[in-house]
């Protein structure tokens, strides 16, 4: 599908070991969808430099945007910044603007005291990192890599601050709800998908008490193409198989 | 950490486009954890053969087990079996046992009628695939790749049927809850992690109304090593920083 794409890298040993349920993946999928950005993959990897480097290196060549979630704090297990710097082949430098904003925040919350060295470590970023969005809690962007915090509230805030830079034309979706099983419509779906390769057709069976057995989705950024593929699909299906059609 | 490892590959265009919330990743993380299996990564990728091949090929060399979720139905967007076969360098063959079980299930639900060709497509598997667990709804295992259905109920059922083959000694965990901010304990955490590289130490800040500001976790499969690292950490922290300690 044409338009901007994204890969999300969740840096999350705590997610893989089931200490924490990842909220950022599902939220980012919804939000990027709303913004017209196609999410190509979500990779959840441990807090290890080599693994993050490998996945970011590959992702940044494929996608318009790479978002990382987590690993940007002041402790030994916060290694995302170092990994992104290495993936981009850039040194890590201290950002004076970020250091000033961390110091100001620290003084505000600690009766005027200056921040310790560990707190200022959070001002070290890949060389050339842009500070976008909210100046007092900026979104860090180096080339096409956006380094977001793992805390869901902060992740959302910082991504939303750059939403206008991400936004693209919306996806157009149609859905057809069927009262027959997947294997009964598989040949029709297959032939319509072949005839309309630029419309993405998905088939989602249900095995619960829903009013339908299968939901078929058709999508593209071009609404006219969705219309044409939808008409072809409805022509290919037995009329009695279709419960209803929805357009989004 | 010693012991068996796993990678989960979620084949899920519907997850990436936010049509469906993935339940299998979080469930597998918890269940594998209970079974003493270390989850190394979760990769959520589209329903595309080349992308699944790439991620399965890499994962199966690194991990004891690779689990795939989804893409095993009878429609054009069900491409996991073909991708796993290619990643393993094996042809796809029809399994007589699987075909018999699909036919029996179809006859049961369709008044004795034989299944159509599309339904029998689900009996095509990588050559040499073992059918484990429940004979009437078997878990498909080819080398170290376990091909699970995407429907959460079926995913859980089929993974649980082979749980005894996966099980390994449990993880041992300690947690320390702190009333100070992360940057205040970062140097202590760093030095304890360096002195005890075989214990994995994680630091999780909170920014809500919890009774603590940071939860530090220490884990290993060797409980004695956790004890030693925990003692070292408590010695390195100011006593007034610690609210409480938990052992799991």
Read off the pLDDT of residues B174-184 as tens digits, 9 standing for 90 and up. 999 999 999 99
- For residues B130 and B199, membership in a common domain is answered with no
Mutate to test the interface with A, among B76, B122, B193 (most CBs of A within 10 A): B76
Q: Is residue B36 packed enough to be buried (19+ CB in 10 Å), middle (13-18) or exposed (0-12)?
A: middle
Burial (0-12, 13-18, 19+ Cβ within 10 Å), B10: buried
Which tokens go with A135?
């100046």
Q: Looking at residue B183, which CATH number applies to its domain?
A: 3.30.70.2860
- B142 HSE (CA, 13 A, CB side): 26
Specify whether the CB–CB gap between A92 and A120 falls below 8 A. no
Of A41, A75, A217, Cβ closest to residue B203: A75
pLDDT band at A208, cuts 50/70/90? confident
Q: Which secondary structure element, helix H or strand E, spans residue A93, and what is its range?
A: strand A92-94
- Does B129 lie in the same domain as B191? no
Q: State the CATH number of the domain containing residue B122.
A: 3.40.980.10
| Domain with B68 in it | 5-166
Task: For residue B185, report the phi and psi dihedrals to the nearest 5 degrees.
Answer: -110, 0
Compute the distance between CA of residue B215 and CA of residue A238 in angstroms, rounded to an integer: 58
Q: How high is the pLDDT of residue A97?
A: 94
Residue pair A73/B182 in contact by the 8 Å Cβ criterion: yes
Which of these, A104, A106, A146, lies nearest to A125 by C-alpha position?
A: A146
Of the residues B106, B134, B166, the one at which a domain ends: B166
Residue A187 to residue B118, Cβ atoms within 8 A: yes
Residues 37-96 of chain A whose Cβ lies under 8 A from any Cβ of chain B = 38-47, 51, 73-78
DSSP chain B: --S-EEEEEEE-HHHHTTSS---HHHHHHHHHHHTTPEEEEEEEE-S-HHHHHHHHHHHHHH-SEEEEES--SSSTT--HHHHHHHHHT--EEE-HHHHHHHHHHHHHHTTTPPPPHHHHGGGEEETT-EEES-TTSPEEEETTEEEE-SSHHHHHHHHHHTHHHH--PPPEEEEEEESS-HHHHHHHHHHHHHH-TTSEEEEEE--SS-S-SEEEEEEES-HHHHHHHHHHHHHHS-GGGEEEEEE-
The pLDDT tens digits of the residues spanning B80-112 come to: 999 999 999 999 999 999 999 999 989 998 899
Q: Is the pLDDT of residue A1 over 70?
A: no
Please answer whether residues B17 and A33 qualify as being in contact, where contact means their C-beta atoms are separated by less than 8 angstroms. Answer: yes
Same-domain status, A78 and A144 = yes
Phi, psi of B126 (to 5 degrees): -60, 140
Domain's final residue, options B166, B184, B203 = B166
Q: Please report the pLDDT score of residue A58 as a whole number.
A: 97
DSSP one-letter string for A94-150: E-HHHHHHHHHHHHHHTTTPPPPHHHHGGGEEETT-EEES-TTSPEEEETTEEEE-S
Closest CA to A105 of A74, A148, A145: A74
Residue carrying the six token digits 């997850």:
B15
Closest B-chain CA to A119? B183
- What's the domain count of chain B? 2
Compute the average pLDDT of residues B228-240.
96
What φ, ψ does residue B5 adopt, rounded to 5°? -130, 165
Nearest-neighbour CA in chain A from B93: distance (Å): 19
Buried b (16+ CB within 10 A) or exposed e, A204-219: bbeeeeeebbbbbbbb
* Residues B93, B99: Cα–Cα separation, whole Å: 11
Say if residue B226 is in the same domain as residue B158: no
* Interval A219-227 mean pLDDT: 96
B57-78 tens-digit pLDDT: 999 999 999 999 999 998 988 9
SS (H, E, C) B21-44: CCCHHHHHHHHHHHCCCEEEEEEE
Specify whether B14 is located in the same domain as B87: yes
**Where is pLDDT greater, at B189 or B208?**
B189
Supply the pLDDT for residue A21: 96
**Number of residues in chain A:** 248
> From CA B84, how far away is CA B37, in angstroms rounded?
22
What is the ipTM, given to two decimal places?
0.94
Tell whether A98 and A210 lie within a shared domain: no
A186 chain-B contacts, CB cut-off 8 A: 74-76, 118, 121
The last residue of one of the domains, among B134, B166, B198, is B166
Q: Is the pLDDT of residue B1 over 70?
A: no
Contact criterion met (CB below 8 Å) for A79 and A51 = no
Kindly state the tokens that stand for B237: 């922290």
Is the pLDDT score of B208 beyond 90? no
B136 and B177 both lie in a single domain: no
Nearest Cα residue to B44 out of B65, B75, B74, B23: B23
Residue A126 and residue A189 in one domain: no
Mark whether A99 and A9 lie in a shared domain: yes
Cross-chain Cβ contact B74/A182 below 8 Å: yes
Are residues B145 and B31 both part of a single domain?
yes
Token digits for B241?
């920083």
- Verify whether the Cβ–Cβ distance A43 to B46 is below 8 Å: no
Same domain, B151 and B176: no
pLDDT in tens, A101-157: 999 989 998 899 999 998 899 999 999 999 999 988 999 999 999 999 999 999 999
Which is it for strands A38-45 and B38-45: parallel, antiparallel or unpaired?
Answer: antiparallel
Average pLDDT over residues B119-136: 94
> Per the CB < 8 Å rule, is A183 touching B116?
yes
Q: Do A186 and B217 touch (CB under 8 A)?
A: no
Q: Are residues A160 and A178 in the same domain?
A: no
What's A76's DSSP letter?
A: T
A131 Cβ neighbours under 8 A, 6+ residues apart: A95, A97, A98, A138, A139, A140
3-state secondary structure (DSSP) of residue A88: helix
Written as six digits, the tokens of B96 are: 């007589």
Closest CA to B125 of B104, B145, B151, B109: B145
At which residue do the structure tokens 């029809």 appear? B94
Compute the average pLDDT of residues A27-35.
98
């Amino acid at each position: 599908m044409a338009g901007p794409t994204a890969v999300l890298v969740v840096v999350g040993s705590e997610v893989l070991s089931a200490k924490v349920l990842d909220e950022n993946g599902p939220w980012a999928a919804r939000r990027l969808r709303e913004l017209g950005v196609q999410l190509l993959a979500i990779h959840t990897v441990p807090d290890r430099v080599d693994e993050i480097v490998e996945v970011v290196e590959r992702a940044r060549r494929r996608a318009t945007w790479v978002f990382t979630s987590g690993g940007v704090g002041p402790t030994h297990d916060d290694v995302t910044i170092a990994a992104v710097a290495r993936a981009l082949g850039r040194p890590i430098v201290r950002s004076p603007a970020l250091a000033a904003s961390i110091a100001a925040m620290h003084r505000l919350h600690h009766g005027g005291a200056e921040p310790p060295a560990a707190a200022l470590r959070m001002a070290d970023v890949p060389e050339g990192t842009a500070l976008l969005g909210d100046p007092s809690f900026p979104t860090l962007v180096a080339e096409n890599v956006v380094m977001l915090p793992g805390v869901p509230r902060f992740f959302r805030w910082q991504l939303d601050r750059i939403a206008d830079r991400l936004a693209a034309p919306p996806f157009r979706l149609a859905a057809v709800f069927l009262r027959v099983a997947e294997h009964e419509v598989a040949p029709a779906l297959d032939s319509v998908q072949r005839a309309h390769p630029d419309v993405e057709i998905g088939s989602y069976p249900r095995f619960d008490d829903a009013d339908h057995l299968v939901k078929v989705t058709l999508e593209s950024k071009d609404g006219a193409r969705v219309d044409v593929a939808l008409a072809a699909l409805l022509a290919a299906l037995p009329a009695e198989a279709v419960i209803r059609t929805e357009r989004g």
